[in-house]
Amino acid sequence: MTTSTPLLAVDELSVVFHRKGQGETRAVDGVSFTLEEGRVTGLVGESGCGKSVTSLALMGLLPDRGVKVGGSALIRLPDGEQDLLKVSQRRMRDLRGSQLAMIFQDPLSSLNPVVPIGVQVTEILSRHRGMRGAAARREAADLLQRVGIPDPTRRLGEYPHQLSGGMRQRALIAMAVACRPKLMIADEPTTALDVTIQAQILELLRDLVTEEGTALLMITHDLGVVAGLCDEINVLYAGKAVETAPRGPLFADPAHPYTVGLLGSIPRLDAPRGEPLTPVRGSVNDNIAWADGCAFAPRCDHYTMECLQGPPPLVGASGDEEGPGHIHRCVNPVGRAGPDRPEPETPAAASEEERG
């Protein structure tokens, strides 16, 4: 799978919000990643780093006023390759639900409270697969069964508030996979659920990805979820990817101080009693513009003057066996040889800098 062309290639995606009386806000600032069939890619970062905006941009769900989306997102569809950011509204409506699907954070508010589950599932079947009446209801029941909802026929007649949180999220996943989409985006699908249900939902997602060969873009702030589910991980900070790596190297040998900070701030069961958590200092608002230097510098423990001289380029992580897949955006990578830049002026890095 990994050798073929990717299903979705996002290149230099940027989203800029314009507000009256205020300057523009660069919510997403040149993010590039690829998604492959049957694999899970994680988009990790704290609130406000642009991960949700990235997903909304890909789905074409950003408001049409005051937003400028740049870059490209080429997706391989049955009828040829297309740029998700350029297709017409009408075409996007046809793609959403059939080729692309999205699962949201809060299952209760993502379901219409006054419409029975059955109607909400069948409306997608009738919209994209032209199914009607009894056939649609049968298929809807099958879908609920598939995502592990017991007694699906009865559930079809029930309202969202009669289902438990886990059931609701399962129902939403059933709606998302109803038309076997090629690409699924899950925006913090387990944040509103308790830990046991969380594990079940993640397992379900994993199964669906392997069985259907769907590409899943997993958006989360929870590194535990990432460790259990994602094959490839992009760590976002202030609208830019600061580190991209396969799961193993990211956890074993993180290069960017922000990734290290995130990993360090996870509460651990095996930590000695009474040892304080080590949070990442400051908040996401304490940053500088990427144009001036590394946005993370104000919160970083080992920034140098070099960090404040223009945007740091993306570089391959040295000292990593799986080198090619592991890149980061730091001039003083953690655990790497000294404060001197690894491969400072390679042509690739330079061109990267010009584009960003």
Partner 1 sequence: MPTTPSTNPSQVPLHQRRAAKVDRLAELMGERGDEGHGAGVWREALQRMRRSPMAITGAAIVALFVVVALLSEFIAPYGATSQTWGGEVFPNRNEFVGPRAENWLGLDHLGRDMFSRMVIGARQTLLVGVVATLVGFLFGALLGGAAGACSVLGGRWGRQVDNVVMRVIDMMLAMPTLLLAVTVAALVGPSLTTVMVAVGVAQIPIFARLLRGAMISQGSREYVLAAEALGVRRHRIALTHILPNSMGPVIVQSTLTLATAIIDAAALSYLGLGNPDASSPEWGTMLSEAQRFLSSAPSLAVYPALGIIITALGFTLLGEALREALDPKLRK
Binding site for partner 1 (CB under 8 A): 59, 61, 64-65, 89, 93-98, 101-102, 104, 106, 109-115, 119-120, 123-124, 127-128, 157-159, 162, 172, 175-176, 178
**How many CA atoms lie within 13 Å of 98's alpha carbon, on the beta-carbon side?**
13
Of 110 and 244, which has the nearer Cβ to partner 1? 110
Least CB distance from residue 96 to partner 1, whole Å? 4
Of 189 and 249, which has the nearer Cβ to partner 1? 189
The values of phi and psi at residue 133, to 5°, are: 50, -130
CB 241 within 8 A of CB 329: yes
Of 183 and 250, which has the nearer Cβ to partner 1? 183
The values of phi and psi at residue 183, to 5°, are: -130, 130
Least CB distance from residue 351 to partner 1, whole Å? 35
Residue with tokens 């592990």: 148
Least CB distance from residue 54 to partner 1, whole Å? 14
Strands, sheet with 25-35, edge to edge from the N-terminal-most edge strand: 25-35, 8-17, 67-77, 80-83
Of 51 and 128, which has the nearer Cβ to partner 1? 128
Amino acid at 229: L
Of 98 and 332, which has the nearer Cβ to partner 1? 98
Q: In whole angstroms, what is the distance from residue 323 CA to residue 290 CA?
A: 25
Least CB distance from residue 49 to partner 1, whole Å? 20
Q: In whole angstroms, what is the distance from residue 190 CA to residue 187 CA?
A: 9
Least CB distance from residue 163 to partner 1, whole Å? 11
Of 183 and 235, which has the nearer Cβ to partner 1? 183
Q: In whole angstroms, what is the distance from residue 207 CA to residue 193 CA?
A: 19
The values of phi and psi at residue 353, to 5°, are: -65, -40
Nearest to 259 by CA among 335, 323, 192: 335
Beta 8-17 vs 25-35: how paired, if at all?
A: antiparallel
Least CB distance from residue 161 to partner 1, whole Å? 8
Of 92 and 135, which has the nearer Cβ to partner 1? 92
Nearest to 353 by CA among 335, 343, 17: 343
Least CB distance from residue 34 to partner 1, whole Å? 22
